[in-house]
Amino acid sequence: MNDIGDGVLPLSVQQLITEVEEHLQERPKLARMFKNGISNTLTTTLKPLEDGTVFVITGDIPAMWLRDSAAQVRPYLILANKDEALSDLVTNVVKRQIHYIHLDPYANAFNEEANNNGHQEDKTQMTAWIWERKYEIDSLCYPIQLAYLLWRTTGRTDHFEEHFQKACHIIMTLWHTEQRHSEQSPYTFERVDCPESDTLPHEGKGNPVGFTGMTWSGFRPSDDACQYGYLIPSNMFAVVVLGYMEQIASEVYQDQEWVVKASLLKTQIQAGIEQYGIVDHPEFGRMYAYETDGLGNHNLMDDANVPSLLSLPYLGYCALDDPLYQNTRKFILSQHNPYYYSGTAAQGIGSPHTPPHYIWHISLAMQALTSQDQQEILSLLHTLEQTDAGTDFLHEGFHMDRPEEYTREWFSWANSLFSEVILTYCGYTVPSGKIQSS
């Protein structure tokens, strides 16, 4: 068998591509796009390192994002139970992520080695290892989710070593500290000569917040600054991940003290979401806000990047038919969401991270993955098929009227999430973010 990362697809992936091509005989372009999407991470973004771990670039940026790298390899979990090399790949990505969390849990993106690449001029506690130090809750959620899904999919536990356990305690301590960001946090971040979305106001501390029980985030998964520091979908993801930790602590480590700590923090964050993160909308009823500050302000929107409000069932936070989610979904897939765009080529959610009227392929893929309507799914597949600008790859954002105008030629996360859409459409069971019974 070829080594993972040598640019050649494992036999199991080649076989999966053949099976999907058979499913999509009447949709040859979708089949080509799936082949490219499922292959993209494996053939272009992986670098096995001397310590046995795997470094994963996000695509056209030569750094490893904790979030993106987890999302990039997640589709391979459906094969990991029968392909040891893919199982090893995911394991070694997790180990690399855990290594980085130990280096700095406030950083979102890292270098392959201590080479001083990246945003070294930012006014924060940078080191030579760090590409960017924008603190985002989801950066700490994704590696734990990937580790949990690997365990539940394959049964392997060799990634649950002491280093992993310590990283989980680092995460819980940080989230506890950031419940009282104004009083207790050591974190500040400022970038000079940049758009407002790339820096935090008030000497790098961000806008004022009150105590809610939720945990503060400086930046969104788009790497844009939060308007209000309690980012609701990311706090929801933290609740799910703390549930993973409870189960790992109980079943793998038999550490009851850890179980209790994770449970308490989860309960506090959950209570904060329910008390401060829900609003009554005059048209859509009770629904989730995107951000709040605990001081009476709410930001009603959604962003294409995951975690998003659209992605809550995918993350495992709620059921698809949950009434609050459905009300929120109707809001964010309407013109009431300031980042929902409707053009002649497509309609869907974009992001303040990209130009106005640019829809994201990630949001279209997530809309399909969280839909209960077969006609909606088919329509989204058609849109994905028609907005690739003739490249047979997906991108970041594209213009709602002119999809040939797009950002990021090489964006591996979008290709991986599209692969999950196609696998789900073809009837494969893609690992769910929901907490699984023993």
Given this model, what pLDDT does residue 1 score? 36
Cα 334 from Cα 327, distance rounded (Å): 11
What tokens were used for 172?
A: 């819980």
Given this model, what pLDDT does residue 436 score? 84
Cα 32 from Cα 419, distance rounded (Å): 11
Residue 133 identity: R
Task: Give pTM, 2 decimals.
Answer: 0.97
Q: Which domain holds residue 307?
A: 45-338
Give counts: helices (H), strands (E), the chain: 16, 14
Q: Is residue 408 part of a domain?
A: no
129, 111 Cβ separation under 8 angstroms = yes
CA 19 to the chain's CA centroid? 28
Given this model, what pLDDT does residue 438 score? 67
Q: Is residue 99 part of a domain?
A: yes
- Summarised one tens digit per residue, pLDDT across range 326-373 is 999 999 999 999 999 999 999 999 999 999 999 999 999 999 999 999
How would DSSP label each residue in 146-158?
Answer: HHHHHHHHH---T
Q: Is residue 314 part of a domain?
A: yes
Cα 425 from Cα 368, distance rounded (Å): 9
- Give just the sign of the alpha carbon dihedral 359, 361, 363, 365: positive
Cβ neighbours of residue 75 closer than 8 Å, sequence gap 6 or more = 38, 416, 419, 420, 423, 430
Q: Is 244 left (phi over 0), alpha (psi -120 to 50) or beta?
A: alpha
Peptide bond into 356 cis (omega under 30): no
Cβ neighbours of residue 402 closer than 8 Å, sequence gap 6 or more = 345
Given this model, what pLDDT does residue 186 score? 98
Which 3 state secondary structure label does DSSP give 318?
coil
Given this model, what pLDDT does residue 5 score? 59
Q: Tell me the pLDDT of the chain (438 aa) as tens digits.
A: 346 656 689 999 999 999 999 999 999 999 999 999 999 999 999 999 999 999 999 988 999 999 999 999 999 999 999 999 999 999 999 999 999 999 999 999 999 999 999 999 999 999 999 999 999 999 999 999 999 999 999 999 999 999 999 999 999 999 999 999 999 999 999 999 999 999 999 999 999 999 999 999 999 999 999 999 999 999 999 999 999 999 999 999 999 999 999 999 999 999 999 999 999 999 999 999 999 999 999 999 999 999 999 999 999 999 999 999 999 999 999 999 999 999 999 999 999 999 999 999 999 999 999 999 999 999 999 999 999 999 999 999 999 999 999 999 989 999 999 999 999 999 999 888 988 876
Residue 436 identity: Q
Given this model, what pLDDT does residue 30 score? 98
Q: For the domain that residue 143 is a member of, what is the CATH number?
A: 1.50.10.10
Domains contained in the chain, number: 1
Given this model, what pLDDT does residue 4 score? 66
Cα 220 from Cα 265, distance rounded (Å): 21
Cα 387 from Cα 345, distance rounded (Å): 7
What tokens were used for 22?
A: 């058979």
